[in-house]
Structure 1
Amino acid sequence: MKGKTKVLFITVRSDMGGGPKHVYELCSGLSEIDVYIASPCDAPYYEKYRSISNGHIKIPHRKFSLLKLIELIQYCRNNGINIVHSHGRGAGIYSRFMGLFGFKVVHTFHGVHHASIVERMLKHLTNRFICVSRSEMINALAFGLCEKINTVVIPNGIEEKKYSDITSPGKKILGTISRLDPHKNNGELIRFMKELPEYHLLIAGDGEEKEYLKSIAPTNVEFMGYVDDIPNFLNKIDIYVSASRGEGLPYSVLEAMAAGKKIVLSDVVGHNDIEGNILLYKPEQLEIFKNALLKAENCKISTEYCINNQIKKIEQIYE
């Protein structure tokens, strides 16, 4: 009798973010796959990865190590693993070099913002590419990071029923879930809030810009830190907002849609791919943002973003 397919998932991040969350949600749902994970030891996902995997191997945070590459190759051989699925740019360096040693390589981008010569060369060592949005695939093709013949779009998926009982306080409370780093552009939201005293903004997340953002924030901005209970956070807000400079396909927005929230987002790749009655604003345009807050309507999530659909499509790639 044929046993389960064994797959090693590689991510060079296990801190807060959409990429690490994607790996966790995907691996949690792959009942027909024996899951092994290589990741750093960072919170919050390191312990979560260990709890759902058949085996875990530690690798550096966002750093390539030749010794770890050799260790990964030996680990896969010892455990009978012949498929490697990398997530994100750094993890893709490991997986594609492993392709030289006969492993089947699947790579998911999780955001495409630029490309190096090395990445363009590594596409030839990749069996299948997965993009989480159509715009991400367009960018990846334009940068020469993949070929259309072996690239597929599989949107992120969530378990909708987790968010079905969420309500709204009705008090003009905005909320965002985000890493606090320059790419997420939370400084723009804070600048907007200085001109919108009638609104209150809750920011859930942590990161390198935390102290800076706190130093420029007006009194109607509240920092919640890392939030693990997403439904509870969504219960506290009326409108979900994001000023990000670019995304793959953000889980936090899908969760807000499933919760029936009003949603206003920056008009960038990853946001403008999402199907639904979200409203977009041009970055740095306060008046457009303000009008969008007034016009936003409660959202409904498309069945396209069902986690069962996502898992089924990815399992087919492993066959």
Structure 2
Amino acid sequence: MKIVHVVECFAAGTAHFINLLTQYTSCEHIVIHGERRDEISAEAVKAKFPQGVTFIQWKNAQREIRPGKDLMALRELTTILKNLKDIDVIHLHSSKAGFLGRAACFILGLKNVIYTPNGASFARADVSTKNKSLYILLEKVADKLAGEVVCCSPSEAQSYEKIGINTSFINNGTSIPTLDPETPQPCKGAPFRIVTCGRITEQKNPKLFNQIASFFKQQQDITFTWIGEGAMEQRAVLNSGNIKVTGWLPKREVEDILTRADLYLSTSLWEGLPFSVLEALSLGKCLLLSDCVGNRDLVKNGYNGYSFLTADEAISRIQWLMRNQESVKQMGRNSREWSEKEFDIELVSKQYQNLYASFAKRRKD
């Protein structure tokens, strides 16, 4: 099968998701991509993909809504798709490619279209009510043009159902690492280590992370680590003296820090189904996650961690977990078991392989 992926935000979790699909589904993959130069170059992203993937740059694609520029991007994308032959499935990723991609497919009469939001634009907590209403309108218009919405988590699917758009979902997944029994684990007497991982942005809510950490700043028996980097104004929010910001690290170093951690903390305002949390789950970590779209699909209270709504609630949970370290270890084991059963990329990729095959068959029929 020939699968064409269309993505504007060729960075972070979305690019990682497409990368995994190209690795674990037995298809010919073509990626039409934009570039987020303020985050990472397209060349650096492409270097992480397996050999055999074809890349086509979508030069006019950009993040913000700008009618003139978006019209140019639509024309360019329509031309690119028109020149590709024998496409079995067009898979659109994230909101900008989701709208322009469905418009282009409508113009070309293409029906074999999947749209995966990976973080619904109208679920964003950093935009006005007016903009949210605009995003909902755009989603509804695009839904009438072409394609089927396949969300990356149950709660993301529910958010689309609430605005009247029918959808299904396939969970995001991650590769399940082999746990080395000789790797140092959290040990008795060591500080209680709390870790998060991701770009320091408003979406990840560094203000709340800092507020939680600040409560413990006089204690020597607890540490906070943020693996990642961000804009200067967002990074400056993490000013509590007990927070270490590492910047971006190689994957092996990230896994080493996570393995040694006692607790994975996410303070996000919204998500799709976050890969950073999926990876913590696969490494057998107890989780403490803000109760937002995406996060709430990865924690079962009392089983593999807890969700929270406020800083006070998170602080109270941390205090309890520090006193009950055997429970922390058991919840970590539960995380690993759940990850193997539901979020293994090999299982997830089979679901996408079957979905692609059903679309390809529909096209040929």
> Fold match, TM over 0.5?
yes
Counterpart in the other structure of 2:29: 34
C-alpha distance 19-36 of structure 1, shift in aligned 2 (>3 A): closer
In structure 2, the CA distance between the partners of 1:221 and 1:135, relative to structure 1 (3 Å rule), is: same
247-256 vs 210-219, greater mean Cα deviation: 210-219
The separation in 1 between residues aligned to 2:207 and 2:161, in whole angstroms, is 31
Q: How do residues 119-138 of structure 1 correspond to structure 2 at under 5 angstroms?
A: 119-138=139-158
Partner of 2:223: 200
2:145 corresponds to 1:109: no
Q: Distance in 2 between matches of 1:175 and 1:225?
A: 13
In 2: Cα distance, 1:7 partner to 1:292 partner: 48
Matches within 5 A, 1:17-96: 18-40=13-35, 42=37, 43=40, 46-49=43-46, 51-52=49-50, 53-59=53-59, 60-63=61-64, 65-80=70-85, 82=87, 83-96=89-102
- Equivalences for 1:1-319 in 2 at 5 Å? 5-16=1-12, 18-40=13-35, 42=37, 43=40, 46-49=43-46, 51-52=49-50, 53-59=53-59, 60-63=61-64, 65-80=70-85, 82=87, 83-100=89-106, 101-103=108-110, 104-112=112-120, 113=123, 114=132, 115-144=135-164, 146-147=165-166, 151-161=167-177, 167-170=184-187, 171-196=191-216, 197=219, 198-208=221-231, 210-214=232-236, 216-229=238-251, 230-274=254-298, 277-285=304-312, 286-291=314-319, 293-294=321-322, 295=324, 296=328, 297-298=331-332, 299-302=335-338, 303-319=341-357
Identity, % of aligned positions: 22
Q: Measure, in 2, the Cα distance between the counterparts of 1:253 and 1:184.
A: 12
Tell whether the 8 Å contact from 1:245 to 1:266 is kept in structure 2 after alignment.
Answer: yes
Cα deviation, 1:64-119, whole Å, max 9, x if unaligned, reads: 63223222222233231533211111111221112211222210011230443122
Structure 2 letter corresponding to 1:12: E
Task: Decide which structure has greater helix share.
Answer: 2
Q: Which has the larger radius of gyration?
A: 2
* Letter of the structure 2 residue corresponding to residue 316 of structure 1: N
Distance 1:220 1:287, change over 3 A: closer
C-alpha distance in 2, partners of 1:121/1:141? 15
- Cα pair distance change 1:140/1:202, threshold 3 Å: same
Q: How far did 1:200 drift?
A: 1.1
Unaligned runs of 5+ in 1: none
Equivalent residue letter for 1:62:
R
Q: Is the 2:299–2:307 Cα contact (8 Å) retained in structure 1? A: no
Contact 2:193 2:224 in 1 (8 A): yes
Structure 1's 162 and 58: CA in aligned 2 closer, same or farther, altered over 3 A?
farther
Distance 2:118 2:180 in 1: 27
Quick check: 2:196–2:264 contact (8 Å CA) kept in 1? yes
Partner AA of 2:109 in structure 1: G
**TM norm structure 2:** 0.77
- Determine if contact 1:163/1:258 at 8 Å carries over to the other structure: no
Q: Which runs of 5 or more structure 2 residues have no equivalent in the other structure?
A: 124-131, 358-365
Deviation readout 1:210-257 (Å, 9 max, x if unpaired)? 444435512211111123413233234221111111221111111111
Change (3 A) 1:28 1:37: farther
CA contact (8 A) 2:78 2:105 kept: no
> What is the alpha-carbon root mean square deviation over aligned residues?
2.4
Residues matched between the structures, number: 309
Greater CA drift, 135-144 or 291-300: 291-300
CA distance in 1, matches of 2:224, 2:98: 36
